[in-house]
Structure formats: C-alpha cells, structure tokens
C-alpha cells in the first residue's frame, strides 16, 4: 500500500463515490494504491454493504483486499443511487424491505445515518434512528456546548442531545470534528465527562469515533514543560553557600516547592523545615489563604474541626489526573512506596475540598417532612451551584401563610444522608450496594444520589458509613478489579443458589443445580459445561460478578458521575485509605469526654453549672437516663454524629436563666438552664430533649402515613 502524494490525491476520484474531494472529516481519509491504481475514501470503503475486512491491517487498503474491493465496485456498478440516479451505489439501507441504495456522499446529503460500529449498518432518511426526547419547557435557544452558537433544543439530524445531560445540545458537525480529534479515549460528554453512555449514543446516531489517541496527545514533546520541576530558593535570605539554584535531594539543601502554586521554592534549611514531607507555602499563597478567612485560631479539641486544622496541613500537591487505574494490590504497593502522602487525615482533605465553596449563597427551601423531594427540587434548580454557600429555610406545605423558618445546614444534610441510606437506590441491610431500580434509573436518581453525597461531604455533612467494601472498591479501583462476596447479595433466592453451588459435593449435585435453574443461568449468561467439581467456584464467581457488578452497571456509572461533583470522586481515588473509614464504617460512639471537649463554654457564671453539665454527660454515658449521647448532639446541632470536617461554627454551651434547655441548631449552641440542684438540672434536660425529639419523629411519621 503506497500513499500517493497530497497534490496527486486531489485529482484521483474514489472508486466508490467517484468524487475527488479530500475531506477527512466528511468522507474519511483518502488513500491511493499506486500499484493497482485504486483510490478510496475510508468511509466509502467501510460502509459498503458487500465487503468485509478479510486481510490484516497492512494488507490491501485498511485490511480490505484489492480483489474484494474490485468485486464490490463491480457489484455496485449494477446499482443505481436513489439520490443522484447514477450507478455505483455500494451502500444500502439495512431496514427490512427497504431497497434504497446510495453513495456515501449522497447519503450524507439526504441525511442518512451510518453507524461506525458493530456491522456498520446504514439507514436511509426514512428509517434512520432518532432521539426520543420528552417535551420540554425550553422557551429560548440553548448554546451548542462545543461551538457555543445558539440552537433550537429540538433533536433533528443536525442537532443531537447528550444522553447523560439533559441540557447539553450539539451540532452534529461539531461532535464529529471533536470525535476525530479526541479519539475513543478522550471523546466524552462536555458537561459531565461521561464516556460510556455518551459514546454508545453517539455511535448509534452516526458519529464516527476513531480508535486512536487524541490529536493533542500525538504532538511531539507536547507535555515537555510538565516534566520540568521548579528548582530555585525564593526566600528572602537563602542560607545555602552553593547558591539559590543548588538542590541536593535527601539533605537539608533539598528544594521544596510551594504546595499551593508550585512556582516558588525554598531549601528545607532556609525555611526551618525538618523533612520534605512537611508542607510549605510561599508568602503570596499564605497571604491569600489567611485573607480568605478560611482559617481562624480557636481552642483545640480532641475531635477534628474546621477550626483546628492548620494551614500547612490543608493543601498538598495533587497527583497526576492521568494515572492509570490500578488493581487493589498494585494500589496498595503504591501507597507503601509513596508513604505519608496518601495517609492524610480525612478532615484535612475535606477542608481542602471546601476551599471551592464561595461566599455567594443559595437558599434551599426544605420541607422536613419530605426531605428527599424538596432536596431534589433544590439541587435540580438551574440556579443551584454546588460551589455556593448553602442556606436552609424550612417550610411547611400545610402552612397557608407560606412562612419559612431558618434551618440548620448540618441537620438538613444529616437527615438527607439518613434518607439516602434507606432509599431505593441502595440495597442490603448494613453494608449496602447499589440496587437495580428501573424507576430510579429513569428519573436519574443514581446520579442525584452521588451528587447529594458529594455535596454533603464538602459542605460539612456527616459520614455516609453504609457502603459495602465491594462498592467502595468499585469506585476506587474499578469494577473489573473488584471481587464481590456472598454478603453483597441481598436477594435471598440468588444467595441460596450460590450457597447450593458452593456446598455441592459432587458433579451430579452441581448439574442438578444447573438443570433446576437453567433459565436463570441462561438469562444472566452464566451457562457453562460442568466437567469437574472445581467448576463450582468459577460458576459461583460468575453469578456474584453478574448480580453485584454487571447487573447494576448503568446505575453505577450514573452514581459515579454524580460523585464527581466538586472533585470528590477524584479525591476518593487519590486517598482511598482516608475515605474508606467514613464510607464503610459508622462514626465512633460518642462519649462523655468527646462531648465535653466538643462543646466550648461561652458564658458560664460559676463552676456549679459546668459541674452539672459534666455530671449529666457522665450519667448519660453510664445509662442512668433514657437519653443517649446522640440525642444530646441531635438536640443541639441536628446531627447524631460529628462530621468528618467537624462543625462550623464550633458547638458551644451557655448558661441562662431559662426554664428549660434550648438547642439552637443554626449556631450549634446549647443553652443550659441555671438550677439549684443537679436533680432539677437532669429532669429539665431529660424532659426537653426527649419531648423535642419525639415531636420531630411524629411529624416525620405523620407525613409518611399520609
């Protein structure tokens, strides 16, 4: 195969369409075999109905043998194009009973669709696939998310909609150019970055996605500057006798870069750093961090809080976003190699994610009796931005006056996570996996669940704590590198089948199970020939992989896209050890000491009030009252556990001349009554906390019943 010179290809016509146009974006690459005097457009050759690729890639033209091409040209010479009325129409519509044939360029002209996948089917203008879109309320035009020109949001041949983002619309031509430039590895939705669902739909609608690397990846030395490390000491007084550019690894004269900008540096000794693992910021970045108000000095507590995280612990250099996905074993070795970089405190990581939150606020109107739907409405609102500061206002749909009351963000997120744990998108008792719920999939609830979880973590919500190890490993290492276990199966019947397979003692018993559940095995693609008893382990594994992973592939991908909100999924993949604890384990049980350290005192008139408070906490811990530690925390903050990043503002107590204790969940403040005796103090605390929580539960259950 010898390519002709570029100027010569302009004058040679394609043997299929008989056009001499050289337009790769429309007709594919144009190639000429000089030996056989044969020129073809790649797409004309690929889409011809009567030819198959019988040779290797380097044989003939793209693996199509010369003799096969000549036979196809001869076959097409007997067929007349239904568009231009000339012979040589090598492409036919695959719809049953449709006899239309046409040239590739003629098909493009009449808006036919050519699918560059599977059997490379072609559809005429009457039988081409279309996108089914539910009626919308768009009154104005929307921009093409590639060229930004405004288009009418109505699916046509020239206008396509993203299957994963309802508001993402494209010109067909824009998509095709992007697909050719990006290739199969980088072609994805421009809004949510989904690749699997997006590519599948675009292939169905006739977009050619070449199996090649992106054009920008093929440029020579395209990323050379990324390999250059900044090596210069920028502190005012450099102590190194060898000069500011001297860098001696593993010594006090090693240069450490600013963890924020990476464009300033210091010798370890010049900034009194004991080791390279210690964090350092340049003066400019340090000033920005302090001026942002993200860090304030406050009393240190035993539990993590946003206020007690030092600046030096908050920002580390990011790992490369293009690291290949690794198996758990390989990932574990990398963790050991890279040391303390990956063993970061979870509160530090979440505080770092919180830097994305800006001062501009968005108010969410939440009905506590219907927390899920009101949260969905708020998060789906076009004006909602996950980076805005969240304000909560509680409303009651039965209130004819439409009054609203200020609400606690911590309480709202805590209630939302409780509902999410018990929602239809998850299945299982304690450790949960994703379910397969057609209604939830139709309503895009898996994406919303992932988005809610990400927003909750970054905005100071509680630990999820209900993920199974299998679900967590799928998120971090990928489903293909995860092995589910029997405990992941929540379906009793499926679990019994797996147990019977595992306990089979001979081939006869194993075949008996195969025969009894033949239809089920056929449905899930796990039918296999049993030749020995050891086949039972492979069979059981296949069933587990199907039921726990393959069956929920669509929900998993949707959930994963939602979890990418605010960069949460990327952090989980980078620091799996830190996130495993809060995703797969419930928070530690509260104790008297933990709550005593958590709540700071503002206005304590005397030691007696503080003594009553500490005595009450100890009595609750010892079980001398019906109130629990979680009840106290819920009463004061709305949360039954301490969020990974701590509370903001810090919980406080104050003693006032009030009849009963008052919990201000918006400010995380607990007002204690001043009493003469401890007995009176305990009775008032018990009465208020017990009845307040009981009334809140009754309001919630009343909504569920009606």
Q: What is the pLDDT of residues 9-49, one digit of tens each?
A: 556 889 999 988 888 888 888 888 888 888 999 999 999 98
The yes-or-no verdict on residue 366 having pLDDT over 50 is yes
pLDDT of residue 317: 33
H/E segment holding residue 393: strand 388-395
Q: pLDDT tens digits for 433-491?
A: 999 999 999 999 999 999 999 999 999 999 999 999 999 999 999 999 999 999 999 99
Please give the CATH superfamily to which domain 592-700 belongs. Answer: Hect, E3 ligase catalytic domain (3.30.2410.10)
Q: pLDDT tens digits for 65-117?
A: 999 999 999 999 999 999 999 999 999 999 999 999 999 999 999 999 999 98
Cα–Cα distance measured from residue 490 to residue 149, given in angstroms and rounded to the nearest whole number: 49
H/E segment holding residue 256: strand 255-257
The yes-or-no verdict on residue 133 having pLDDT over 90 is no
pLDDT of residue 10: 56
Q: Which percentage of the chain shows pLDDT scores above 90?
A: 41
- In 3D space, the residue among 647, 645, 626 whose CA is nearest the CA of residue 636 turns out to be 647
**Mean pLDDT over each residue of the chain, to the nearest integer:** 83
Task: Enumerate the domain spans of the chain.
Answer: 30-123, 142-217, 344-586, 592-700
- Token pair 């000069």: residue: 243
Q: pLDDT tens digits for 321-351?
A: 333 334 444 444 333 333 333 346 888 888 8
Q: What's the DSSP call for residue 12?
A: S
Structure tokens at 380: 């789906």
On whether the CB atoms of residues 583 and 467 are closer than 8 A, the answer is yes
Cα–Cα distance measured from residue 28 to residue 24, given in angstroms and rounded to the nearest whole number: 4
Indicate the SS3 state at residue 639: coil
Q: Which stretch of 70-74, 181-185, 301-305, 430-434 has the lowest confidence by average pLDDT?
A: 301-305
pLDDT of residue 8: 47
On whether the CB atoms of residues 649 and 351 are closer than 8 A, the answer is no
pLDDT of residue 569: 94
Cα three-residue angle 498-499-502, rounded to 5 degrees: 85
Q: Describe the chain by its helix, strand, coil percentages, rounded to 5.
A: 40, 10, 45
Indicate the SS3 state at residue 112: coil
Q: pLDDT tens digits for 588-647?
A: 889 999 998 888 775 545 577 788 888 999 999 999 988 999 999 999 998 989 999 888
Per-residue confidence band for 563, with pLDDT thresholds at 50, 70 and 90: very high
Please give the CATH superfamily to which domain 30-123 belongs. Answer: Zinc/RING finger domain, C3HC4 (zinc finger) (3.30.40.10)
* Section 283-310 average pLDDT: 49
pLDDT of residue 216: 79
Structure tokens at 97: 């009973």
pLDDT of residue 138: 56
For residue 399, is it left (φ>0), alpha (ψ between -120 and 50) or beta?
A: beta
pLDDT of residue 205: 93
Per-residue confidence band for 139, with pLDDT thresholds at 50, 70 and 90: low
- In 3D space, the residue among 703, 696, 706 whose CA is nearest the CA of residue 374 turns out to be 703
CATH number of 344-586: 3.90.1750
pLDDT of residue 653: 87
Domains 30-123 and 344-586 in one fold = no
- In 3D space, the residue among 677, 679, 681, 678 whose CA is nearest the CA of residue 689 turns out to be 681
The yes-or-no verdict on residue 253 having pLDDT over 80 is yes
Q: Which stretch of 25-34, 82-91, 197-206, 376-385 has the lowest confidence by average pLDDT?
A: 25-34
pLDDT of residue 114: 94
Cα–Cα distance measured from residue 569 to residue 186, given in angstroms and rounded to the nearest whole number: 19
For the chain, the distance separating the N- and C-terminal CA atoms, rounded to the nearest angstrom, is 75
Q: Which stretch of 169-183, 191-205, 254-268, 315-329 has the lowest confidence by average pLDDT?
A: 315-329
* Section 559-577 average pLDDT: 92
């Amino acid at each position: 195969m010898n390519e002709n010179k570029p100027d010569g290809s302009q004058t040679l016509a394609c043997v299929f369409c008989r056009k001499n146009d050289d337009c790769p974006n429309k007709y594919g690459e144009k190639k000429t075999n000089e030996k056989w005097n044969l020129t073809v457009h790649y797409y004309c050759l690929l889409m011809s109905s009567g030819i198959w690729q019988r040779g290797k890639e380097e044989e003939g033209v793209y693996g199509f043998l010369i003799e096969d091409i000549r036979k196809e040209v001869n076959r097409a010479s007997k067929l007349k194009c239904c568009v231009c009325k000339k012979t040589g129409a090598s492409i036919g519509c695959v719809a049953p009973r449709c006899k239309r044939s046409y040239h590739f360029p003629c098909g493009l002209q009449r808006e036919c669709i050519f699918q560059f996948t599977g059997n490379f089917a072609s559809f005429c203008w009457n039988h081409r696939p279309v996108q089914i879109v539910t009626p919308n309320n768009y009154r104005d035009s929307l921009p093409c998310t590639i060229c930004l020109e405004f288009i009418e949001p109505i699916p046509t041949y020239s206008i396509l909609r993203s299957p994963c983002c309802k508001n993402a619309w494209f010109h067909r031509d824009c998509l095709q150019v992007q697909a050719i430039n990006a290739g199969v590895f980088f072609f994805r939705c421009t809004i949510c970055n989904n690749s699997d669902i997006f590519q599948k739909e675009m292939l169905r609608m006739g977009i050619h996605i070449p199996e090649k690397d992106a054009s920008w990846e093929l440029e020579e030395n395209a990323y050379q500057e990324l390999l250059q490390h900044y090596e210069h000491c920028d502190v005012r007084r450099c102590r190194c006798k060898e000069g500011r550019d001297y860098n001696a690894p593993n010594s006090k004269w090693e240069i450490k870069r600013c963890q924020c900008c990476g464009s300033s540096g210091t010798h370890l000794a010049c900034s009194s750093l004991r080791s390279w693992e210690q964090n350092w910021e340049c003066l400019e970045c340090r000033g920005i961090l302090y001026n942002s108000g993200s860090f304030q000095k406050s009393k240190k507590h035993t539990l993590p809080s946003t206020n007690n995280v030092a600046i030096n612990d908050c920002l580390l250099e990011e790992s490369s976003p293009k690291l290949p996905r690794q198996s758990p074993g390989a990932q574990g070795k990398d963790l050991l190699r890279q040391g303390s970089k990956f063993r970061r405190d979870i509160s530090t990581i979440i505080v770092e994610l919180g830097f994305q939150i800006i001062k501009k606020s968005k108010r969410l109107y939440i009905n506590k009796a219907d927390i899920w739907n009101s949260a969905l409405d708020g998060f789906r609102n076009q004006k909602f931005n996950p980076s805005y500061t969240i304000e909560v206002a509680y409303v009651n749909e039965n209130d004819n006056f439409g009054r609203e009351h200020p609400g606690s963000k911590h309480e709202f997120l805590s209630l939302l996570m409780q509902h999410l744990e018990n929602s239809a998108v998850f299945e299982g008792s304690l450790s949960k996996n994703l379910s397969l719920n057609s209604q939830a999939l139709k309503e895009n609830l898996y994406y919303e669940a992932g988005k809610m979880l990400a927003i909750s973590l970054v905005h100071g919500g509680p630990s999820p704590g209900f993920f199974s190890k299998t679900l967590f490993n799928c998120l971090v290492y990928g489903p293909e590198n995860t092995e589910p276990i029997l405990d992941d199966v929540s379906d009793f019947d499926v679990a019994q089948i797996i147990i019977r397979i595992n306990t089979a003692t001979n081939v006869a018993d194993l075949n008996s199970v195969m025969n009894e559940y033949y239809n089920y095995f056929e449905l899930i693609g796990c039918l296999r020939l049993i030749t020995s008893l050891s086949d039972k382990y492979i069979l059981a594994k296949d069933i587990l992989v199907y039921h726990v992973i393959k069956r929920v592939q669509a929900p998993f991908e949707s959930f994963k896209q939602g979890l990418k909100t605010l960069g949460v999924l990327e952090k989980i993949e980078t620091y799996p050890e830190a996130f495993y604890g809060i995703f797969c384990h419930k928070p530690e049980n509260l104790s008297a000491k933990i709550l005593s350290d958590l709540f700071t005192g503002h206005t304590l008139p005397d030691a007696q009030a503080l003594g009553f408070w500490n005595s009450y906490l100890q009595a609750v811990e010892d079980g001398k009252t019906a109130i629990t530690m979680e009840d106290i925390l819920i009463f004061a903050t709305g949360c039954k556990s301490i969020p990974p990043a701590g509370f903001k503002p810090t919980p406080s107590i104050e003693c006032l001349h009030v009849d009963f204790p008052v919990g201000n969940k918006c400010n995380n403040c607990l007002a204690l009554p001043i009493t003469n005796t401890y007995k009176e103090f305990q009775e008032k605390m018990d009465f208020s906390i017990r009845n307040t929580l009981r009334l809140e539960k009754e309001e919630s259950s009343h909504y569920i019943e009606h």
